[in-house]
Copies of this chain bind each other. A is one copy, B any other.
Amino acid sequence: MEIIRDPAEMQQRALTWKKAGLSLGFVPTMGYLHEGHLRLVDEARGRCRRTVVSLFVNPMQFGPSEDLDRYPRDEAGDLAKLEQRGVDAVFIPSQEAMYPEGFETIVETLNLPNHLCGVRRKGHFRGVTTVVLKLFLCVTPDVAVFGEKDYQQFLVIRRMTADLNLPIEVVGVPTIRESDGLALSSRNVFLSPEDRLRSTAIYRALVTARDMVRRGETDAVTVRNEMLRILEAAQGRVDYVAVVHPQSLVELEVIQGQAHAALAVFFGSTRLIDNMRLIG
């Protein structure tokens, strides 16, 4: 497994593979890898002859009051997992390589961030699209794989990729969960044992919503209120809970055709997000 830190060297490596006719799959990550990330790697490996994973904690997608400083890191552990999983190359650019002196270019989707996390985390998706475009241009993959746990991020990146004519297939992989339903996340390590138990309310709220809709409930407010009740009963501090259209992310009043539930909840000081298709 190669470790590449220089963007130009990464481009050269990818071009070598391209010239040899080898398809390239890519999994961008912020590191501190868990089984959710590794399933994305498996997906990329299943689709392509070569697989690259990037490790880069992107400061541009964190707000000034967010958890950039405490975001967990474990490069050695990550490399061991990726080697074991059969990855061909790991791209680990430095902050200086990604955001050199005088850097001033941003990439942004104008509509999708006006919903859900985008409203609460101003500038977050600008940071995501900017870094992902840069990583795409360094790695030049044929396929890029993202987790559907970050559902809005997946939609934003798919939109950006299409809008910019990038010849990349953006693939989403269903969320991997603990046995009690909690979605895997690098941030789960911050939960106290008590909050870890309480956080199972997230999955309960989502499944309850889906069951309500399956049983015929079409009023989005009723569904949302039940989710709120479950989360607050578990002492979750709700950032948002929404029933939205799964493509536009516009909030629904009436559930018919397609609907998706998305939420962000704090347990202690840790903000967790999750989502689930309700119907369609």
Q: Which residues from chain A sit less than 8 Å from chain B, CB to CB? A: 7-8, 11, 15, 18-19, 100, 102-112, 129, 133-134, 137-138, 159-160, 162-167
Among B15, B112, B133, which residue has its beta carbon within 8 angstroms of that of A104?
B112
Specify which chain B residues have a CB less than 8 angstroms from the CB of A166 in the assembled complex. Answer: 137
Whether B105 lies near A164 (C-beta < 8 A) is yes
| Contact indicator A108/B109 (Cβ below 8 Å) | no
Give A251 Cβ to nearest chain B Cβ, in Å: 18
A107 and B109 contact, Cβ closer than 8 Å, known pairs A19-B19, A166-B137: no
The contact of A105 among B102, B108, B137, by CB within 8 Å, is B108
Complex Cα distance, B89 from A21, in Å, reads 24
Closest B residue, CB atoms, query A12: B167
Neighbouring B residues of A160 by C-beta, 8 Å: 105
A231-B134 Cα distance, complex, nearest whole Å: 44
Most buried by B among A112, A134, A137: A137
CA distance A8 to B112 in the complex (A): 25
Q: Contacts of A109 on B, CB cut-off 8 Å?
A: 104-105
Check if B104 sits within 8 Å of A106, measured CB to CB.
no
Could you tell me the distance between the alpha carbons of A18 and B134 in the complex, rounded to whole angstroms?
21
Tell whether, in the assembled complex, residue B107 and residue A107 are in contact, meaning their CB atoms are under 8 Å apart. yes
Chain B residue at minimum C-beta to C-beta distance from A98 = B165
A112 cross-chain contacts in B, Cβ below 8 A: 104
In the complex, how many angstroms separate the beta carbon of A49 from the nearest chain B beta carbon?
Answer: 16
The winner among A160, A163, A166 for most chain B CB atoms within 10 A is A163
| Given A7-B165, A8-B167, A108-B108, 17 other A-B residues pairs in contact with their CB atoms under 8 A | A11-B165, A11-B167, A102-B159, A103-B163, A104-B110, A104-B111, A104-B112, A104-B163, A105-B109, A105-B159, A105-B163, A106-B107, A107-B164, A134-B164, A137-B164, A137-B165, A137-B166
Report the nearest B residue to A93, measured CB to CB. Answer: B165
17 contacts between A and B (CB under 8 A): A11-B165, A15-B18, A18-B18, A100-B162, A102-B159, A104-B109, A104-B112, A104-B163, A105-B108, A105-B109, A105-B163, A105-B164, A106-B107, A106-B110, A107-B108, A137-B165, A138-B165
Chain B residues contacting A167 (CB-CB under 8 Å) are 8, 11
Assuming the A-B contacts A137-B166, A167-B11, are A107 and B110 also in contact, with contact meaning beta carbons closer than 8 angstroms in the complex? no
Distance from A247 Cβ to chain B, minimum over Cβ atoms (Å): 9
